[in-house]
A and B are shown apart, each in its own frame.
Chain A
């Protein structure tokens, strides 16, 4: 185990990466990079969207009524102590016992939804609750209905914090989807896990670079999106 993984001794890392990248199966067929990337992306996006649909309404209600900040804190603390790999393993355990197929994506999807929910919940609650009470009061004083206060004042002002929650969730989900390969699912983590198992350094490193790139692109891309989604009045000159 202490020996470094490696293709035959006389092969350098670069050569083994090159040989992995030059194999036709890497680029086409059921285990190709494109298929794995597709799996990774759809599971991540679906997980974030489903989690948002599940928690946002509750979070908006908590935020608007200025209640439940203790709930939000508890959610954060519990979420942090539970390792994402552990959530994945437990989700796999439960779904397989319920009869799901071992190679099906459901266990990964359920785990990712559970991981995406807490940051979106807490940021939505906090985002709405940190809107100045004076601002909300003056909106009410101007005769806005509760719904108008929420959609016209609170939500737009909370957008940066809410989007930050979505970003945290997305990046975490993309990272954890990599671990899906450890519970027999696909995604880009497949190359890393297979690289470890087959002692194929080329596959290992290429897979790691792909996963790292995807995470960084998602992070930077979303930060851009975040800025453009911020109401103009809130944008700080940078």
Chain B
């Protein structure tokens, strides 16, 4: 066993080309789980962030609770959810979403807090209502920090989705897990490499999205 483990080829290109169809399927699973979790996470974080900004005293408890959720290791959270929701995508989405909350909420609040006082006074002077000032001045100016939070949340989620293979949900972790069990190195390397590539692509996509959403920042530099 150990000898086999040491001598099987590191990269079996034939296996990769033979399994392109499967690679596409696993990519789809990985992307779907990431997208659904980050989207729900963003929606929940917006609500939590707005609550924290409106009622300041809630910010401490919100970061404390989301921070605690963030601390619980992914494998343990998946396992804890099994008796409640079962072994399915819902389980993974709940766990993955809960990890995004702390990151996005913290950046949301920090971003809005970072808007210069002068801008707020200028907006007030121009007769903006509180609501208009928030959506048209503060949110756009906080966008870089908010998007930075989304980037971290997304990249982290892509990494965590590799663990959901334990729940039988596929994704790149499927390759890693099966490679580990069969000492088939190619699968491990393919699983890890694709996960890193996906994380990098999504990270770059967010940078481009931010540039597109805030054209004024480009003009300034």
Assess the A86–B195 pair: CB atoms within 8 A. Answer: yes
Selected contact of B152 from candidates A3, A80, A209, CB within 8 Å: A80
The answer to the question of B206 belonging to the interface, with a C-beta cut-off of 8 Å to chain A, is: no
* Binding-face segment, A47-55, A135-143, A152-160, A189-197: A189-197
The B-contacting residues of A in range 90-128, CB under 8 angstroms, are 90, 92-93, 96-97, 99, 101-102
Neighbouring A residues of B152 by C-beta, 8 Å: 80
- Helix, strand, loop or mixed for chain A's interface? helix
Binds A, one of B115-123, B159-167, B213-221: B159-167
Decide if B192 touches A215 in the complex (CB within 8 Å).
Answer: no
List of A residues within 8 angstroms of B102 by Cβ? none
Cβ contacts B184-221/A at 8 Å (1 or 0 each) = 01001101100110011001000000000000000000
Q: Are the C-beta atoms of B156 and A86 separated by less than 8 Å?
A: no
Report the stretch among A19-27, A172-180, A229-237 that lies at the interface: A172-180
Contact-size category for B: 35 or more
- The minimal Cβ–Cβ distance linking A96 to chain B, given in whole angstroms, is 5
- Inter-chain CA distance A3–B85, complex, in Å, is 11
Binds B, one of A30-38, A60-68, A200-208: A200-208
Q: With A3-B87, A96-B183 in contact, is A89–B72 under 8 Å at CB?
A: no
* Residues of the A chain whose Cβ atoms lie less than 8 Å from the Cβ of B86: 2-4
Nearest residue (CB) in B for A17 is: B83
A83 interfacial contact with B, CB 8 Å = yes
Given A192-B75, A211-B76, check contact A2 B87 (CB 8 Å).
Answer: yes
Q: Are A85 and B163 in contact (CB under 8 A)?
A: yes
Give CA–CA (A222, B183) in the complex, Å.
Answer: 38
Q: Is A74 interfacial (CB-CB < 8 Å)?
A: no
Q: Is B140's beta carbon under 8 Å from chain A? A: no
User: For the complex, is A212 an interface residue (Cβ under 8 Å from B)?
Assistant: yes
Interface size grouping (class) on chain A: 35 or more
Interface residues of B (CB under 8 A from A): 1-2, 5-6, 10, 68, 71-77, 79-80, 82-83, 86-88, 152, 155-156, 158-160, 162-163, 166, 168, 173, 176-177, 179-180, 183, 185, 188-189, 191-192, 195-196, 199-200, 203
Q: Supply 22 A–B pairs (Cβ within 8 Å), ascending by A.
A: A3-B86, A3-B87, A80-B159, A81-B199, A82-B196, A83-B160, A83-B199, A85-B162, A85-B176, A86-B162, A93-B188, A93-B189, A96-B6, A102-B1, A179-B163, A182-B180, A192-B76, A192-B79, A201-B83, A208-B79, A209-B76, A216-B72
